[in-house]
């Protein structure tokens, strides 16, 4: 794991913890990550798109970075955060000389605020997509990694196994104590003992 400082901010920025190479990621995207990542949150995948757009994934959410008028942010930059709980997957659409990587959102999630000139079918301006140019190998591999992160984050938590009941030996010991204390009669002890020995329960 390495740390990449975000350049251009006053003072000493918090380093961006990462397991992948951040080369090619726009300076403003690095600044946004240094500002928005939680302590211990690590960048695990980066998908670089056209005109400096990018999708950055951690173990819990994805950031979509847009820059300039082509990205619907005019003269500024825009970073949209998508929690994996609101995503169902990642779609990579490639063909000819154009392609896009699209975050597939749950139907019930409210969409982030509209970007300037946003259009659902335009990956340059959509808040959940970035356009990518060929060759598509790197984007395909990164999209697969992001898909795995989303799947892992949304996997159901395994239910803890029910606590094991007392063993037959423990039950017999407990019954003997109850008999010795006079709580149960010797006859009741023998009946309950037989149930335990033959696979029943004393209770």
pLDDT at 73 over 60: no
Structure tokens at 86: 């609101």
pLDDT at 108 over 80: no
The reply to whether omega before 135 is within 30° of 0 (cis) is yes
Q: List Cβ<8 Å contacts ≥24 apart for 25-28.
A: 25/54, 25/56, 25/65, 26/52, 26/54, 26/65, 26/67, 26/77, 28/65, 28/67, 28/77
pLDDT digit string, tens, across residues 92-106: 999 888 899 999 998
pLDDT of residue 39: 92
Other CB atoms closer than 10 Å to residue 119's CB: what's the count? Answer: 12
Can you name the residues that pair with 63 across neighbouring β-strands? 56, 81
pLDDT of residue 172: 87
Over residues 168-193, the mean pLDDT reads 85
Over residues 67-80, the mean pLDDT reads 68
Q: Looking at mean pLDDT, say which of 9-13, 37-41, 162-166 comes out highest.
A: 37-41
pLDDT digit string, tens, across residues 122-171: 898 899 999 999 999 999 999 999 999 999 999 987 765 566 677 888 88
Over residues 8-32, the mean pLDDT reads 82
Give the pLDDT band (50/70/90) at residue 69. low
pLDDT at 12 over 60: no
Regarding pTM above 0.85, the answer is no
CA distance 27 to 52: 10
């Amino acid at each position: 794991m390495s740390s990449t400082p975000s350049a251009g901010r006053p003072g000493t920025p918090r380093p961006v913890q990462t397991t992948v190479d951040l080369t090619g990621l726009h300076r403003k995207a690095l600044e946004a990550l240094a500002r928005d990542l939680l302590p211990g949150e690590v960048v695990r995948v980066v998908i670089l798109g056209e005109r400096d757009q990018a999708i950055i994934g951690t173990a819990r959410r994805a950031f979509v970075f847009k820059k300039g008028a082509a990205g619907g942010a005019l003269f500024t930059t825009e970073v949209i955060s998508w929690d994996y709980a609101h995503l169902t997957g990642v779609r990579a659409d490639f063909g000819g000389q154009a392609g896009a990587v699209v975050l597939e959102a749950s139907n019930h999630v409210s969409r982030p605020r509209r970007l300037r000139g946003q259009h659902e079918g335009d990956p340059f301006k959509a808040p959940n997509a970035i356009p990518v140019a060929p060759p598509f190998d790197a984007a395909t591999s990164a999209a697969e990694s992001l898909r795995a992160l989303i799947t892992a984050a949304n996997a159901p938590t395994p239910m803890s196994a029910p606590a094991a009941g007392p063993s037959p030996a423990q039950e017999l010991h407990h019954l003997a104590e109850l008999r010795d204390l006079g709580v149960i009669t010797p006859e009741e002890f023998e009946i309950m003992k037989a149930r335990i020995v033959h696979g029943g329960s004393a209770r």
